[in-house]
Amino acid sequence: MPKVNVSKTYKVPKRPFESARLDQELKLAGEYGLRNKREIYRVGLTLSKIRRAARDLLTRPEKDAKRLFEGNALIRRLIRVGVLDETKAKLDYVLGLRIDDFLERRLQTQVFKLGLAKSIHHARVLIRQRHIRVGKQIVNIPSFMVRLDSQKHIDFALTSPYGGGRAGRVKRKSLKAAASKEEGGAEEDEE
């Protein structure tokens, strides 16, 4: 069987029953409407890879070509996603990033913050049921990382009943029932 080039997307903590960490994870899961702890671990792994790269670059001399080139690329990528502020465009600030900074940039959180959903959980349901688009593209992944330039283009999908599309199944059924009731009522008046 050929070897497949895959890597893990999350990393579980070394100590599974540390009460302080468990409480913090539960708070994060509730605040950002996450489905399970794996979503936190996945963001944690991404953050640790970024911080490891920043630490490695910080050990190099100030004028080193690799530090300048890769450091700027890393910072530019983080600013574009909106995790790092433009005023803090230094490698030192990359080490200060937290999981919350990444969770804030998820589509689920952005939909709730923009007021398109009543709650963070409602936001997740709207996204999964294909009611939300970013630009012209319908996105049904709640963990989609919204870039700063895409943030203003988050809206209801054109095919969604919320975005002026065709009414939902129940609404259509109730309108049809109301129309047939009126027709029945109009016939009785004639007699």
Q: What is the pLDDT of residues 51-89, one digit of tens each?
A: 999 999 999 999 999 999 999 999 999 999 999 999 999
pLDDT value at residue 187: 63
Enumerate residue ranges in the chain where pLDDT < 50: none
Q: What is the pLDDT of residue 179?
A: 94
Nearest alpha-carbon partner for 94 in 113, 118, 67? 67
Confidence at residue 185, expressed as pLDDT on a 0 to 100 scale? 73
Taking only the tens place, the pLDDT of each residue in 166-179 is: 998 999 999 999 99
pLDDT value at residue 58: 96
Alpha helices by DSSP H, the chain:
19-31, 37-58, 65-81, 91-94, 99-103, 107-113, 120-128, 169-190
Which residues, 6+ apart, have CB-to-CB distance to 80 below 8 Å?
Answer: 147, 148, 149
